[in-house]
Amino acid sequence: MRPVVIAANWKMNTTPADAGELATTIAGRTRVQGVTRVICPPFVSLAVVRDALAATDPGVAVGAQDVHHELAGAYTGDISAPMLVGLAGWVIVGHSERRRDHAETDERIGRKLARAVEAGLRPILCVGEQLADRDAGRAVAVVDAQLGGALGDHDPEALARAGMVIAYEPVWAIGTGRNALGSDAAAMAEAIRTTLVRLGWGASAADVPILYGGSVTAANIGEFLAEPSIDGALVGGASLKPDEMAGIVGRAGVTAAARSAATA
């Protein structure tokens, strides 16, 4: 049974002065059996969030929002995988905003993925199409190419052992007012697993958790978690609001309980 995962991406929000309290509040509001919870604060708040969660709810994992594709060197302002060891157990790789704002290529994202796995970090690999791609009927082809470019040089067994998670982000549904449907996400999840099989994953493709990440809220999470192929969410703006996170994780708990009962 695939795990149900809710990952909070705080993006460029919070400071070390308030991140620990927010993390503690969210942790206290989301103690739901069967749900894997991850909070990804900015780099400067990783230590504060780590310490706050260790003291109040060690069951919540800490993730970083990015990682560099080299181990060390003259890369001013960047953070390498070895630097994250001890601060985070998870890391987001290839987020649509990194692709957009930093011109990250699939090849570079693949190298970041390698560094993360080598360091023992559990990666959340993000993929997703733009509005023009969706309207032109190229959505599946774009995501297929992103996966091939990032994963093509990797050993599927190593990534499976690392517990890689894939987050599907339809970029056209993030902050635009245009919403994706649960059926859209489910169809893409199936396409992603088909691509993984093509890339040599075999039966292991069915075990990879796939999250939805397009303006997730407590009001719409149920539509996505009702789809058997969707295993949770990568939550953006709503992850800064304890009430929203309580609703999202609470609904995820319903899915986790139903899946557990179905396999009992």
Question: Which residues participate in catalysis according to the annotation?
Answer: 95, 169
Residue 203 token pair: 């039966």
Task: Let me know: does 122 contact 165? Beta carbons within 8 Å.
Answer: yes
Residue 171: DSSP 8-state: G
Buried b (16+ CB within 10 A) or exposed e, 144-176: bebbebbbeebebeebbebbbbbbbbbbbbbee
Helical axes 139-151 vs 106-118, angle rounded to 10°:
50
Q: Considering only CA atoms, which of 169, 81, 104, 94 is closest in space to residue 124?
A: 94
Compute how many other C-beta atoms are within 10 angstroms of the C-beta atom of residue 49.
Answer: 27
In sequence order, what are the beta bridge partners of 61? Answer: 38
